[in-house]
Amino acid sequence: MMEQTNATTPLVPRRGAGGEAPKKLSIIAFSGDFDKLTAVFTLGTGAAAVGYEVNIFFTFWGLDAIKRKQGRSFTGGNWLTKIFGFMMGGLKVTPTSRFNFLGAGPKIFRYLMKKNNVATLEELVEAAKALGINLYACEMAMHVLGLTKDDFIPEVKDVLGVASFLNLSDGGQTLFI
């Protein structure tokens, strides 16, 4: 298991320790698909490992990736959001965008990834925590889905809106996945 650290403290001097601003990558994680979340965390951990400051802003379906309960649970405030919460689920039940085969797809991909020594989605998420990547949740989507900050893993640094995200991502590269 990888060591978890305080998300606010970079593990080692980032590129730019000499005084210049660090390079920065900000990702809007909109999709809750297994394959697209794998892309989010592959890019994020890779960038953090080569010295980038990395921000990931989870919104809508993407919030599934940072839920404390990784299976299916009735998160939400009323009966409708509780049903949505159950149907959406967490990291362990994310579907693939293609070849989902009623949930068999992600299991097959996990098997193939392990067999070929490629990091699984769960390993990438652990690496993101260990690298101190900044994880943020979208205030508006949380409100719609009846989620609170307590529904998320403790590494989620803050709950933000568009203006704050634009401010955070200013001067760096931004991706929407």
Residues that bind other proteins (CB under 8 A): 2-3, 11-15, 17-18, 42-43, 45-46, 48-51, 116-119, 123-124, 127, 130-131
CB nearer to other proteins: pick between 48 and 66: 48
CB nearer to other proteins: pick between 131 and 147: 131
Q: Tell me the closest approach of the beta carbon of residue 46 to other proteins, in angstroms.
A: 3
In Å, what is the CA distance from 7 to each residue of 3, 143, 151, 174?
12, 24, 18, 20
Please write down the long-range contacts of 100-104, taking CB distance under 8 Å and 24 or more positions apart: none
Q: Tell me the closest approach of the beta carbon of residue 162 to other proteins, in angstroms.
A: 28
CB 105 within 8 A of CB 35: no
DSSP H helices in 6-138: 34-49, 79-88, 104-115, 121-130
In Å, what is the CA distance from 135 to each residue of 37, 63, 98, 153?
13, 11, 26, 10
CB nearer to other proteins: pick between 14 and 69: 14
CB nearer to other proteins: pick between 51 and 146: 51
Q: Tell me the closest approach of the beta carbon of residue 124 to other proteins, in angstroms.
A: 8
Q: Tell me the closest approach of the beta carbon of residue 123 to other proteins, in angstroms.
A: 7
